[in-house]
A and B are shown apart, each in its own frame.
Chain A
Amino acid sequence: MKVPTMAEYMAEGKQPEVLFWVGCAGSFDDRAKKITKAFVKILNNANVEFAVLGAEESCTGDPAKRAGNEFLFQMQAVTNIEVMNAYEVKKVVTACPHCFNTIKNEYPSLGGNYDVVHHTQFLKSLLDDGRLTIEGGHFKGKRITFHDPCYLGRANDVYEAPRELIRKLDVELVEMKNCRKKGLCCGAGGAQMFKDAEPGNKEVNIERTEQALEVQPDIIAAGCPFCNTMMTDGIKNKEKEDSIVVQDIAELIANAQDL
């Protein structure tokens, strides 16, 4: 696995094609690290010149902003923007819809202007350019349902890129009763990931998992590390972890290719 940093590129006097923004979950969460690695393997395999910031990356500030701490958010944003601008970053790809949304939409008015894409959009563009081929591999014929991340779908109208990638896997894509614009949240957004839920009669991720189980999938595909965690917990709660797996689209593609 080759994972060059922006600093290394700069030392060589070169610019990578794209900055891979790993995000906090992708860097530290054991489950999400697998998504990070799967994506890197695909990038390596497709000979994409990318770099990461490594220790120079910091939280985008998304959970702080959504929790109401505008000051902390802007401190994070301005610091990150300084780093990215110093490296003259043009294009950013990330596997986290929260990082994607924040850098794409909220950084520009603070001086950070980049072409930001979600990893499913990036993979789709590699596919369209012929730099990446996707084959079904051992997923052929399986039933897959895709859980729309709120910050990718409703927040930014990205619905089709992940679905087109899934279809390339020669699988049967089945839609939950709430999908696309009507997708149901996994329960982690708006900083809920970091606190207990308010009193209610059910957890949101359980409700969403039940919707997924209704379509009897073999695989629940996710496009967000937080959704991934929430859906995985839901499947465990329903004691279905032996029959159903939750995987990021990058993992599905990497696994199909035995990368």
Chain B
Amino acid sequence: MEYIPNILFAILLIAGVGYFTKNVRKLTRNIKLGRDVDRSDNKSERWKNMAMIALGQSKMVRRPIAGLLHIIVYVGFVIINIEVLEIIIDGLFGTHRIFETVIGETVYGFLIGSFEILAVAVLVTVIIFWLRRNVIKLKRFLSAEMKGWPKSDGNIILYFEVVLMTLFLVMNASDIPFQEAGHGNVISQYLYPLFEGTENIEMANMVERTAWWLHIAGILIFLNYLYYSKHLHILLAFPNTWYANLKPKGEFVNDAAVTKEVMLMMDPNADPFAAPAEGEDEGEPEKFGASDVQDLHWVQLMNSYTCTECGRCTSECPANQTGKKLSPRKIMMDTRDRLEEVGKNIDANNGTFVDDGKALLNDYITPEELWACTSCNACVEACPVNIDPLSIIIEMRKYLVMEQSAAPSELNVMMGNIENNGAPWPYNQMDRLNWKDEN
């Protein structure tokens, strides 16, 4: 009988971690639906980026208020999770505050004391975050794409954190031996009077156990909530910054399939009717650009899962600022939504994707949004975790132009001019040096 709590705890832990693992598998499978791209060069720079941007939050603090608040929650959340390790050991082996005996009362007291302070700091911060979203109504949380689930998702995360932090403090306050030892109860000592006194020992014990169980259960539920939430960024920010583009932002990749064709056209010795050489794999007919998520590369798909919908990209976007429909954040959210839809389709059809007559282009992202982009890279620069919405926009433009000939007519005129005159305007190439003799 005495092992029942340990067994229950083990079941809870296995269920929580198991379900999470299952979803992580689904996540990686979905990301791998994308095309291949090699982002394994310059490892030292990649590690450095990850350390600075994901771990060090260097891009978060460009907006000082949001940045500072974010760091408090981030540090609080990461550090308080050391406590989770103790809870797991205690839960599995039936011990109580095992670390206290391992590292000694003083150090333990110092640690728990700082966790308590952080817990309060996180509570305060989370309240400010909630006010920013729901009362102050910052513009970037009010865009069209932030209605419904994205809005509730943002708030649910905040409620979760309030509950978890409160449980942590209550758990400490109702732990009478811990309180009586007087080490590290810097905050919870003020809640202790509620549980003080011998006649309340039973009640205090019950509250302590309840808070303890709810705390760990809450953490496991939160862990599993991540997959369904923008909060996935707390995990994906790390690989996302590691695999981010290191080249100059202005450099757009040259499509190698096009290069092959161009070189063939430019080569006077090439025989246009020649059969492909023996053994040369023609592969699938090449599709230019992207109309659906499978046409994007896997880093772009990972980007979409990493996006935390903070809207810094959209608020810096010149098109969005001047009232156009384009919102880089929506591009990322649409990509994720469509990818999830494709993933569910694959699950429902025994591992293969069955055409559902839909696509990222048109069903989610409209050409009007795509054509409003000035390719200025403000969104890429603004993203605190190096997401690149611009690369998706350009891939989709490529599809519109090269597969569908669906460019706005003025752009067709511009391209016709380049083709015929070597300039976007209808001037003769032979007149290029006329300025020399003009006043």
Contacts and interface: CB of A to CB of B under 8 A. Distances in A.
Given A59-B424, A189-B375, A204-B318, 19 more contacts: A5-B433, A27-B423, A68-B394, A68-B397, A68-B398, A69-B402, A70-B398, A79-B266, A101-B248, A109-B254, A151-B250, A154-B377, A183-B378, A184-B378, A190-B375, A190-B376, A195-B408, A199-B323, A199-B325
A240 interface: no
Interface of B: 247-252, 254-255, 258-259, 261-263, 265-266, 288-289, 316, 318-319, 321-326, 368, 371-378, 380-381, 394, 396-402, 407-408, 410-411, 413-415, 418-419, 422-425, 427, 429-436, 438
B127 to A, nearest CB: 29
A104 B372 CA distance: 26
B324 to A, nearest CB: 4
A171 to B, nearest CB: 27
Nearest to B367: A198
Contact of A37 (B410, B415, B435): B435
Nearest to B320: A200
Contacts of B322: 197, 200-204, 206-207
A59 B422 contact: yes
A75 interface: yes
> Which residue, of B374, B408, B434, has the highest number of chain A Cβ atoms within 10 A?
B374
Given A68-B398, A189-B376, A204-B318, A198 B433 contact: no
A154 B378 contact: yes
A200 B326 CA distance: 10
B254 A66 contact: no
A192 B408 CA distance: 11
A86 interface: no
Contact of B411 (A28, A188, A191, A206): A191
A190 to B, nearest CB: 3
B418 A74 contact: no
B402 A70 contact: yes
A105 interface: yes
A207 B321 contact: yes
A156 interface: yes
A195 B254 CA distance: 24
A184 B152 CA distance: 32
B324 A55 contact: no
> Which residue, of A57, A61, A67, A78, has the highest number of chain B Cβ atoms within 10 A?
A67
Contacts of B424: 24, 59, 63, 193-194
Interface residues of A, number: 74
A155 B250 contact: yes
A168 interface: no
Contacts of B413: 194
A76 interface: yes
A203 to B, nearest CB: 7
A58 B419 contact: no
Interface of A: 1, 3, 5, 22, 24, 26-29, 33, 36-37, 52-55, 57-59, 61, 63-72, 74-76, 78-79, 82, 101, 104-106, 109-110, 150-151, 154-157, 181-185, 187-204, 206-208
Nearest to A79: B266
A54 B249 contact: no
B198 to A, nearest CB: 62
Contacts of A70: 254-255, 258, 288-289, 398, 402
Contacts of B375: 66, 150, 189-191
Contacts of A154: 249-250, 376-378, 380-381
Contacts, number: 219
Given A3-B433, A187-B374, A106 B254 contact: yes
B372 A198 contact: yes
10 nearest CB pairs, A to B:
A155-B250, A190-B375, A68-B397, A58-B422, A201-B323, A105-B251, A200-B323, A68-B401, A185-B376, A194-B414
Contacts of B261: 71
A59 B318 contact: no
A71 B374 contact: no
Contact of B316 (A105, A155, A182, A193): A182
Given A197-B324, A199-B324, A200-B323, A190 B435 contact: no
Contacts of B407: 67-69
B296 to A, nearest CB: 15
Contact of A63 (B248, B377, B414): B414
B189 to A, nearest CB: 46
Contacts of B408: 195
B186 to A, nearest CB: 41
Nearest to A199: B324
Nearest to A194: B414
B398 A207 contact: no
A24 B435 CA distance: 12
A161 B18 CA distance: 56
Nearest to A204: B318
A190 B373 contact: yes
B418 A76 contact: yes
Given A194-B424, A200-B324, A202-B323, A54 B433 contact: yes
B262 A74 contact: yes
A69 B436 contact: no
B142 to A, nearest CB: 16
Contact of B318 (A33, A65, A187): A187
A72 B415 CA distance: 8
A179 to B, nearest CB: 12
B415 A55 contact: no
A78 B262 CA distance: 8
